[in-house]
Structure 1
Amino acid sequence: MTSIVSSTHSRSNQLLQLSTRAWFVVVVIGQLIFAYYIIMLYGTAGVQGNFERWNAQTTHGYVARDLMGNAFFGLHVFFAAVISILGPLQLISKVRKLFPAFHRFSGRVYLGSAFLISLAGFYLAWVRGTAGGMIGSVFITINGLIILVCVVYTLRFAMKRQIDRHNKWAIRLFLAMSGVWFFRVFLMLWFAIHQAPVGFDMETFQGPFLNFLYVFVYILPQVIAEFYFIAKASSFAKPKIAMSVLLGVLTLGIMVGIATATMGMWLPAL
């Protein structure tokens, strides 16, 4: 009986590890595509001085005579590219072990970028406004506050050399920093399923589905992370299997969302 339980536990560990890696690989590929899109659209337009092109995919990306707002928007998209590239590298154990100096340096850059992108997001949400109106601004602010909390604790436990706690907060930070990306991916998944803006109005960019999506991408990932930590540490197989299934479903959804966003929104804009 003991050997059967041990074998089941071992298989559930392997399943959780496999599903985690599959989720991570898919997310990394999607974020690299997103980083390429940001650099080629916003970066190229900025270098060329063609700032009006910032409005190709973003509401009020560039506003004439709004120097401060344009600067914050440029800062925001620049750091979005930085975090999309550096974020995944912070979580790869082999990178941390083989290149510790790089991990520490890039970690400082990543944490600094997280701090600055949050401040820029607050400004854009409450001074310039968002496509989702007041509700969108509130949830963007919540996401920004979660990011700042994660930055503080990620740095705190790194300085204390409490690596396990540092790693957990780094994962929470990665999820929080990915919130805007998750929003785009799952929105495009919704479009792929319904082939229409079901549950919200395209003109006002408001509606019950978007309210649900804000919670789903900005808050729920933190809850899922806690369940993941519990399942990973559990001596029982069922929590690991349940989390593996959840990650599998999320991975499939993210794959469809990435493909739809890439072919329907990001590449056409270039």
Structure 2
Amino acid sequence: MQHSLQKKRSKGAAAKAAALVFLALLAAPFSYYAAVFGIEGLGGGPQRDSYLFVPGSAWSNAAISVHMLIGAALPVLAPLQMGLGLSGRLPALHRWLGRLLILAACVTAAGGLAFTAWQGTIGGWPMDIGFSVYGLLLLAAALQTARLARQGQTARHRRWALRLLVLAMGSWLYRVQYGLWALATGGAASNPQFTGGFDLFMNAGFYLPWLLLLELILRRRPSAP
């Protein structure tokens, strides 16, 4: 009986790991695009025509470029960090990758918050608020994950790492959800100014529902990491 239960748990862990690695692979093309965007914005190539780049606004352009370049690592690094099971097999590598992930999350959050403060978003104050809350949550989750790891509070560290994972996937989820909406509805309730009904929902809809879902799962399974 015990052997059967152990085997079942092992299969479940392997399935979760495979799903997380697959998620990282799905996000890889977006991460590549974001990294190239950031490199171009920092002078590594001809700067593309984008509403994110404002002529003569060097600081906001630099902030969004750093945000895109460093943030490109998050949708790939976060699921790999949790999916490869390094904490048990290669703890030193797990710690160093964790530090890299925390640093990337903090820099990404700071770049996005700085851009919003200096330049503002295309969608006006509703988007400013939604994206600023996202940046603050990303920063808080990163700092909490690191703090609890240093204190050796393993269970709480893992729960915050899951929150960080959800937030790290935010930029990718934003594009995926817009793409699926466009396929399903032809882009209804959305416009180039990001002031449509769906646009307003998406100001927080790419992270808040997923965080709430995670919290429900964690509350129903208090012993789960």
* CA deviation vs aligned residue, 1:75-112 (integer Å, no higher than 9, x gap): 11111122233212221252222222221112112112
1:221 maps onto 2:210 in alignment: yes
SS of the counterpart of 1:50?
Answer: coil
1:43 maps onto 2:39 in alignment: yes
Q: Which residue of 1 aligns with 2:89?
A: 98
Q: Per the alignment, do residues 18 and 134 of structure 1 end up closer, same or farther by CA in structure 2, a change over 3 Å counting? A: farther
1:34 maps onto 2:25 in alignment: no
Q: Per the alignment, do residues 23 and 132 of structure 1 end up closer, same or farther by CA in structure 2, a change over 3 Å counting? A: farther
Structure 1 alignment gaps of length 5 or more = 236-270
State the alpha-carbon separation in 2 of the partners of residues 121 and 191 from structure 1: 25
Question: Structure 2 counterpart of 1:49, which letter?
Answer: G
Displacement of 1:215: 3.1
State the alpha-carbon separation in 2 of the partners of residues 120 and 27 from structure 1: 25
Displacement of 1:170: 0.7
Q: Which residue of 2 aligns with 1:122?
A: 113
State the alpha-carbon separation in 2 of the partners of residues 191 and 92 from structure 1: 31
1:142 maps onto 2:142 in alignment: no
State the alpha-carbon separation in 2 of the partners of residues 17 and 112 from structure 1: 27
Q: Which residue of 2 aligns with 1:160?
A: 151
SS of the counterpart of 2:162?
Answer: helix
State the alpha-carbon separation in 2 of the partners of residues 207 and 18 from structure 1: 42
2:60 alignment partner, one of 49, 61, 69: 69
1:183 maps onto 2:179 in alignment: no
State the alpha-carbon separation in 2 of the partners of residues 110 and 189 from structure 1: 28
2:200 alignment partner, one of 184, 207, 211: 211
SS of the counterpart of 1:223?
Answer: helix
Structure 1 length as normaliser, TM-score? 0.71
* CA deviation vs aligned residue, 1:22-63 (integer Å, no higher than 9, x gap): 753443222212112223454367564312x1x3xx422x33
Q: Per the alignment, do residues 215 and 70 of structure 1 end up closer, same or farther by CA in structure 2, a change over 3 Å counting? A: closer
SS of the counterpart of 2:206?
Answer: helix
Higher helix share: 1
Structure 2 length as normaliser, TM-score? 0.84
SS of the counterpart of 1:189?
Answer: helix
Query: Which of 1 and 2 has greater Rg?
Result: 1
Greater shift in the superposed pair: 37-46 or 222-231: 37-46
Displacement of 1:20: 4.9
State the alpha-carbon separation in 2 of the partners of residues 50 and 71 from structure 1: 14
Pairwise CA RMSD:
2.9
Question: Structure 1 counterpart of 2:90, which letter?
Answer: F
Q: Which residue of 1 aligns with 2:187?
A: 197
Aligned pairs, how many?
Answer: 221
Q: Which residue of 1 aligns with 2:76?
A: 85
Q: Per the alignment, do residues 106 and 15 of structure 1 end up closer, same or farther by CA in structure 2, a change over 3 Å counting? A: closer
Contact 1:157 1:163 in 2 (8 A): yes
State the alpha-carbon separation in 2 of the partners of residues 222 and 15 from structure 1: 26
Q: Which residue of 2 aligns with 1:248?
A: none
1:59 maps onto 2:51 in alignment: yes
